[in-house]
Chain A
Amino acid sequence: GESVGLHLPTLSVQEGDNSIINCAYSNSASDYFIWYKQESGKGPQFIIDIRSNMDKRQGQRVTVLLNKTVKHLSLQIAATQPGDSAVYFCAETPNTDKLIFGTGTRLQVFP
């Protein structure tokens, strides 16, 4: 079946550096993508989304890039802070019914 996956299960970065979390998706029909952040013991929290008619979208310290040609999604976090430590999930919507989540990438920020 179709699936969303992540290249790196764990990413360690130094505080202040930029982080890049990658995601590969396989369903070319997907037209909506979301990045979620999940801190320990909490539910996933929306970070940023992007629709397939865009290739870049920026938020506060975060940028999502979408490359539909190679079915790749990335989340860039500028000036990574300790509070950014969490598991990050990408999710795609192949139709308007539901989201398909990837397995997640753990971001560890060290001083």
Chain B
Amino acid sequence: DADVTQTPRNRITKTGKRIMLECSQTKGHDRMYWYRQDPGLGLQLIYYSFDVKDINKGEISDGYSVSRQAQAKFSLSLESAIPNQTALYFCATSDFGDEQFFGPGTRLTVL
């Protein structure tokens, strides 16, 4: 969905490096989410934010942090990347109680 963009689309990094994944949206939604998807599996919620001043942990927040810089921007950081954080990462946005719109994903490989 072009309304939700993620950068970078692909990233290869080494164990111990700090990585930031960025998400921007033009839908004007207050709610933003970060998910992780492992091969052959569903999406697991890492963090979510209902507005600029609201940050909440999801199912698998350990090893991750987030920053909601503005209504339209929500970034995910891995402070010290480890190999088992190799996965696809998706950002999503929504209005209250409605469907979530997903970005194209970032493929992260940690060596």
Cβ contacts under 8 Å, A46 to chain B: 99-101
- For the complex formed, measure the closest distance between the CB of B32 and the CB atoms of chain A, giving whole angstroms: 11
Given A42-B105, A104-B42, 11 additional A-B pairs, CB 8 A: A32-B97, A34-B100, A36-B102, A44-B102, A45-B1, A45-B102, A46-B101, A89-B43, A96-B96, A98-B48, A104-B41
Within 8 A of B (CB), among A58-100: 89, 93, 96-99
Please tell me if the beta carbons of B41 and A103 are within 8 angstroms of each other in the complex.
yes
- For the complex formed, measure the closest distance between the CB of A89 and the CB atoms of chain B, giving whole angstroms: 6
Residue interface bits A20-57, CB-to-B below 8 A is 1, else 0: 00000000000010101000011111100100000000
Please tell me if the beta carbons of A43 and B99 are within 8 angstroms of each other in the complex.
no
Partner of A44, one of B43, B45, B58: B43
- For the complex formed, measure the closest distance between the CB of A63 and the CB atoms of chain B, giving whole angstroms: 17
Cα A44 to Cα B102 with chains together (Å): 6
On chain A, the number of residues with a Cβ less than 8 Å from chain B's Cβ atoms is: 20
Cα A43 to Cα B102 with chains together (Å): 6
Within 8 A of A (CB), among B41-87: 41-45, 48, 56, 58
A93: nearest residue on chain B (CB-CB)? Answer: B97
- For the complex formed, measure the closest distance between the CB of B35 and the CB atoms of chain A, giving whole angstroms: 8
A residues sitting closer than 8 Å to B (CB atoms) are: 32, 34, 36, 41-46, 49, 89, 93, 96-99, 101-104
- For the complex formed, measure the closest distance between the CB of B11 and the CB atoms of chain A, giving whole angstroms: 15
Cβ contacts under 8 Å, A104 to chain B: 40-42
- For the complex formed, measure the closest distance between the CB of B55 and the CB atoms of chain A, giving whole angstroms: 13
Cα A101 to Cα B42 with chains together (Å): 6
Please tell me if the beta carbons of B41 and A43 are within 8 angstroms of each other in the complex.
no
Please tell me if the beta carbons of A98 and B43 are within 8 angstroms of each other in the complex.
no
Please tell me if the beta carbons of A44 and B33 are within 8 angstroms of each other in the complex.
no
- For the complex formed, measure the closest distance between the CB of A23 and the CB atoms of chain B, giving whole angstroms: 11
On whether A96 and B103 interact (CB within 8 A), knowing A43-B1, A44-B90, A102-B42, the answer reads no
- For the complex formed, measure the closest distance between the CB of B6 and the CB atoms of chain A, giving whole angstroms: 8
Cα A46 to Cα B4 with chains together (Å): 14
